[in-house]
Amino acid sequence: DTGVSQDPRHKITKRGQNVTFRCDPISEHNRLYWYRQTLGQGPEFLTYFQNEAQLEKSRLLSDRFSAERPKGSFSTLEIQRTEQGDSAMYLCASSRGGGRGYEQFFGPGTRLTVL
């Protein structure tokens, strides 16, 4: 069990560009979550998946954001036409889900800087 991994760890992009982040959850974890964290604040929920189904999306997830988990394993988060306000740490977490455990384990995050 290697823990949750995220790639890339850092991304610098220019305003208007598209970016995609990847998350690999802990194996056998059914649930996968995306959060966003800005400096000095706690993580804010974006969306989560149960296997390949996207069960909930936050109001924070504008139409420029899309997340997928096509095979119920890894997930991608894409931001189109990035804005400076998108600069943040994007965190992924996974859990067994349901009655098997609610503990969410986080990855190291992807730090996005939009110039």
Partner 1 sequence: GESVGLHLPTLSVQEGDNSIINCAYSNSASDYFIWYKQESGKGPQFIIDIRSNMDKRQGQRVTVLLNKTVKHLSLQIAATQPGDSAVYFCAETTSGSRLTFGEGTQLTVNP
Q: How far is the CB of 51 from partner 1 (least distance, A)?
A: 14
Which residue, 4 or 67, has its beta carbon nearer to partner 1? Answer: 4
The C-alpha atoms of residue 63 and residue 66 are separated, in whole angstroms, by: 7
Q: How far is the CB of 85 from partner 1 (least distance, A)?
A: 20
User: Applying CB under 8 A, which residues contact partner 1?
Assistant: 4, 31, 33, 35, 40-45, 48, 55-56, 58, 91, 93, 95, 97-98, 101-109, 111
Please say whether the beta carbons of 12 and 111 come within 8 A: no
Which residue, 72 or 108, has its beta carbon nearer to partner 1? Answer: 108
Q: How far is the CB of 82 from partner 1 (least distance, A)?
A: 21
Nearest to 89 by CA among 28, 23, 32: 23
The C-alpha atoms of residue 34 and residue 94 are separated, in whole angstroms, by: 9
Which residue, 74 or 106, has its beta carbon nearer to partner 1? Answer: 106
Query: Tokens for 25?
Result: 């959850």
Helix and strand element counts for the chain (H, E): 0, 11
